[in-house]
Amino acid sequence: MISALELRHIIECGFLPLSCSCTLNVDGSLMIKVIEPSSGSVELLVTGVSAAPLTTSRSIANLIGELRSEMSARKVSFGSSECRAQGN
């Protein structure tokens, strides 16, 4: 079993070089906030993530991978709409 402190540390390190804070709520869920350090903009904010299935390094790595993919998809989607708005 992975302690809450260790789980938070692994998740926060998984988003380097971005800044990540992972908070364990009293109901056992996680809030994960990823920030671009140079601009201070919030790149991702996810709440209500169940910590219960995060018992292995593989399950934690899968969560981090899914969240990184979501961040990338949002950047691509935003970038595409920005180009259309400019008439490109």
State pLDDT tens for residues 54-73.
Answer: 999 999 999 999 999 999 88
- Say what the pTM is: 0.81
CA distance to 13, 55, 65, 85, 87, per residue, from 6 (Å)? 11, 11, 18, 44, 48
Give residue 2's pLDDT band: very low, low, confident or very high (50, 70, 90).
confident
Chain CA centroid to CA 5, Å:
17
Contact assessment for residue 14 and residue 20, using Cβ atoms and an 8 Å cutoff:
yes
Which range (11-15, 18-22, 72-76) has the least confidence? Answer: 72-76
- 4-85 is a CATH 1.10.3470 domain: no
